[in-house]
């Protein structure tokens, strides 16, 4: 993830890369091995492929289950998503006084 | 309704007629990371009957839109991308603007940077300022601007 957060401050770039890597590893809910879905979704909307062959070990914790895996199951496309700037949410505009601005639903 | 996808449009339409040379609508985003993006503009250039009974607005003319992307550096704007497209009437597909490489993301992600809708409200070194602008001259054409969305598709 480091190349996606380049900047003048190396500490900031490293911190961002670390955060983006780990932020999707905690999933709400309890998923036992017997009922493990093929794909889990993090609270940030990132999809994680839970390939059973990638599970190295399973640890029971006081507040959930930790799956130790040898592959993350998260594609870079999930981490670095397509960005949309919505036209109907402008910061400002420069228009002549005669202009009419329409926010349309159609 | 987009006849190709069957989905509804939600957009902005600036009806400026012949007096909107170089005028623009602007946006901020903190969501672009340091990679190359393909940039697309979705604009619906059509005629609409307004429900406010202020008549039909819009045009059949082709509209010219210029998209500029700036870095904010100490309250000044540094141009990083500029390209123009002709928004033809009743076109329901995206217009490709070109490739934009974002060169720096120098801000901690853990800081609040945008609202849940994605609208940036914290301006910082990672902020990119975007303008969609009307042309300087448009002989015989209105200076209207219309924008459904700008799409930044990462190139992997």
Q: What's the confidence (pLDDT) of residue B130?
A: 96
Helix residue spans in B51-96 (DSSP H): none
Distance CA B40, CA A103 (A): 20
In order along its 156 residues, chain B shows pLDDT tens digits of: 666 677 777 899 999 989 999 999 999 898 999 999 999 999 999 887 766 656 677 888 999 999 999 997 767 889 999 999 999 999 989 999 999 999 999 888 866 555 556 565 567 888 899 999 999 998 889 999 999 999 999 999
**Which residues of chain B from 31 to 90 reach within 8 Å of chain A, CB to CB?**
31-35, 37, 42-44, 48, 50, 54, 57
Domain ranges of chain B: 12-155
Classify domain B12-155 by CATH number.
2.60.120.260
**Burial class of residue A57 (count of CB atoms within 10 Å of its CB; 0-12, 13-18, 19+):** exposed
Residues in B touching A76 (Cβ below 8 Å): 156
CA distances to A23, A85, B3, B105 from A16, rounded to whole Å, are 10, 22, 41, 9
* ipTM reported for the complex, 2 dp: 0.88
Residues in B touching A94 (Cβ below 8 Å): 23-26
Q: Note the pLDDT tens digit of each residue in A51-80.
A: 999 999 999 999 999 999 998 889 999 999
């Amino acid at each position: 993830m480091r190349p996606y957060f380049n900047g003048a401050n190396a500490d900031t770039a490293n911190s961002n890369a670390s955060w983006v890597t780990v932020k999707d590893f905690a999933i709400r809910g309890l998923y036992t091995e017997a009922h493990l879905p093929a794909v889990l979704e993090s609270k940030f909307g990132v999809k994680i492929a839970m390939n059973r062959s990638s599970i190295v070990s399973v640890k029971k914790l006081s507040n959930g289950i930790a799956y130790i895996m040898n592959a993350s199951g998260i594609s870079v496309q999930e981490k670095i998503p397509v960005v949309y700037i919505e036209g109907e949410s402008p910061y400002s505009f420069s228009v002549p006084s005669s202009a009419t601005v329409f926010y349309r639903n159609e | 309704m987009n006849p190709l996808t069957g989905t509804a449009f939600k957009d902005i339409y600036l009806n400026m007629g012949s007096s909107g040379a170089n005028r623009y609508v602007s946006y901020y985003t903190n969501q672009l990371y340091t990679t190359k993006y393909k940039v697309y503009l979705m604009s619906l250039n059509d005629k609409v009957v307004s429900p406010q009974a202020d008549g039909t607005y819009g045009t059949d003319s082709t509209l010219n839109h210029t998209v500029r992307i700036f870095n904010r550096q100490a309250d000044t704007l540094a141009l990083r991308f500029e390209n123009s497209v002709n928004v033809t009437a009743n076109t329901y597909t995206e217009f490709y603007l070109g490739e934009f490489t974002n060169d720096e993301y120098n801000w901690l992600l853990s800081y609040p940077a945008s609202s849940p809708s994605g609208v940036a409200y914290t301006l910082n070194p990672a902020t990119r300022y975007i303008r969609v602008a009307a042309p300087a001259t448009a002989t015989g054409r209105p200076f209207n601007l219309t924008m459904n969305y700008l799409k930044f598709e990462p190139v992997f």
